[in-house]
Amino acid sequence: MATTVALSSSLKHHLALGVRIPQSPALCRRNGGRVSTFRSFPVAMATPLEVCVKASVTTPNKLGDCPFCQRVLLTMEEKHLPYDMKLVDLANKPEWFLQISPEGKVPVAKLDEKWVPDSDVIAQTLEEKYPDPPLATLPEKASVGSKIFSTFIGFLKSKDPSDGTEQALLNELSSFNDYIKENGPFINGEKVSAPDLSLAPKLYHLEIALGHYKKWSLPDTLPHTESYMKVGVPK
């Protein structure tokens, strides 16, 4: 029987549990100072894909607050790819991690025996290598909502209520609200696609960070954006 897991709920599971609730339990272990979480799916692969992601700074052995890492994990989940998630303490980067990521950045995924950085590159490579189910969209849809995150960061960092950063964010959210009203429930219509998996973690961080630091919440005038943040992902 098909079940539905909300994007927002799945991201909360990522933050709280390290992975989304699996069909079969995930396995966690330490290996030479590394903390790994394994997710298995019924996909014919010799070994799980290895992916390095940010570890939580507050809770041991849990996924940290990186929307780019979450995007890669969500992409692997949507494609039902087994993976070995290695949690990296970015405040105390281990030597083994710096050997595969000299710049010390996450996410980094091992694809075709090469460590690939950058969530954009990883997501595109996964789409090319594992095309089923397809997550790509038309170019004009791929950029929908792409300015929300940068305007969110600008507003979050702002100390001047009159500098226009809040309005810039509201403008982007309003444009997205109008788009989803006409084209939703997802960016590509009825099915989840790559832009959703990129934007959803960012909207989750927007909600949490602005609520905590600025006591700000999404206005009632943006009901379609709010619905998008709560809408379910068919599984």
CA–CA separation, 159 and 215 (whole Å) = 14
Q: Is 52 a catalytic residue?
A: no
Cβ atoms of 110 and 83 within 8 Å: the answer is no
| Other beta carbons within 10 Å of 69 | 26
CA dist list (Å): 1 to 10, 21, 77, 188, 190: 19, 16, 18, 24, 19
Instruction: Give the Cα separation of 194 and 179 in Å (integer).
Output: 16
- CA within 13 Å, CB half, 192: 24
- Give the Cα separation of 20 and 14 in Å (integer): 5
Say which of 28, 52, 66, 69 is annotated catalytic.
Answer: 66
Which sequence positions are flagged as catalytic?
Answer: 66
